[in-house]
Structure 1
């Protein structure tokens, strides 16, 4: 029962934050162009990867809840339900690497110069607790999920391909926003020239692949016995 309550709370928290941040437009004025740029214009709040990730986390923990109700968390079930396969694939290919990526890049850039990612003026509209839900909790709860449940990682090529397609979709979306609004989603891109911007994009794509590999490595360490059992069971079925 506690697991169902836990997953219900997490799903409600993430969907609730998306609703709050999307439904509560901050008052803006001509004297606050940063707020206008960050919270208005083409794309609204849907231009931020953070919001995409919050929706993804809400969806993932909803699937976790459904899996607890109609699926299974057994490491090596006789027949793996579809909901369990969806849960494992969503966590490994997107939920884990994306949350760690969003959290580490946000706080990393924030530590260097917060104006490049979250200008101080936004503190009036986004309280500290909300900022931590969006950029800190996302890392904490996927790490807890990593330790709570065994999951089967897909073939590395498959997992990274899913992640790559997702990131390319967001990259295209960023450029669509720039095309129609004339401003970059994140202020950091305004201080980079074209060659540095390309290098930065490539570096971010490499970084998120590293996050995927870190997740795979953690899973192998935490669930080594279960992984061996699954591989052994597959080998027996082949023979």
Structure 2
């Protein structure tokens, strides 16, 4: 029951965060140089909030109609979707968004969240989108067992998502002449490419971190599932 309520609260929280960000955070063009083209979907923060909303909703549905057992007699489709989504998107993207945002914010907040946006972007929303995403996904890792997919599958989904986003922000730039994030304005092209490579390497590293943490927290369950899979294969 506690797990179910946790997933329900997570789904409601991130859904409301997406709604508030989409509807109520509308700074005038004079307070930011970012083009309105692409709407909120040009921000990885907003896309991640959508991912978290979908993930926690799926986790809630799994609590109600699926299962969280290490070796169920039959693994429901909702459970398989939940496990893959956590592994390939929900955990690594949430940690990447939180770490990069607060890391850049600590160096120079004007590069990621200019002070001119403070009257329009409330502090509570900032923490929902940049702090709670990490806190909630870590709590979920500790409280719910999942089996990571093969790395080929997990990395393929994660890299496809991240590379698609990189293409998307460049489409916005070439169409409008404006970068989504102020930090990209102060980087020349060679440094910008290095920045992208570092970001991609970081998010892939976070995938591995999530997998190792999951194995550490759920060591017995993971071993039990692996043994069960080998017996079925025989």
Whether TM-score is above 0.5 comes out as: yes
Relative to structure 1, the CA distance from residue 29 to residue 220 in structure 2 (aligned partners, 3 Å threshold; closer, same or farther) is closer
- Give 3-state SS (helix, strand or coil) of 2:92's partner: helix
Q: Select which of 207, 213, 217 maps to 1:212.
A: 207
In structure 2, which of residues 210, 221, 226 is the aligned counterpart of residue 231 of structure 1? 226
How far off its partner does 1:227 sit? 1.0
2:132 aligned with 1:130, yes or no? no
Query: Structure 1: which 4+ aligned runs deviate by more than 3 Å?
Result: none
Aligned ranges for residues 29-178 of structure 1 at < 5 Å? 30=30, 32=31, 34=32, 37-38=33-34, 40-178=35-173
| Unmatched segments (≥5 aa) in structure 2 | none
TM-score of the aligned structures, taking structure 1 as reference length: 0.95
CA deviations 1:30-56 (Å, max 9, x no partner) are: 4x3x2xx34x52112211000000000
Contact 1:41–1:181 under 8 Å retained in 2: no
Aligned residues: 234
Q: Is the 8 A contact 1:102 1:135 kept in 2?
A: yes
1:181 aligns with 2:176: yes
Asked whether the equivalents of residues 105 and 113 of structure 2 are also in contact (C-alpha less than 8 Å), the reply is yes
Q: Which of structures 1 and 2 has the larger relative contact order (alpha carbons within 8 angstroms, sep 6+)?
A: 2
Listed one character per residue, the Cα deviations across residues 125-176 of structure 1 (whole Å, up to 9, x for unaligned) are: 1121110111000000000000011111111121011100000111111011
Unaligned runs of 5+ in 1: none
> Normalised by the size of structure 2, how large is the TM-score?
0.96
Match of 2:198 in 1: 203
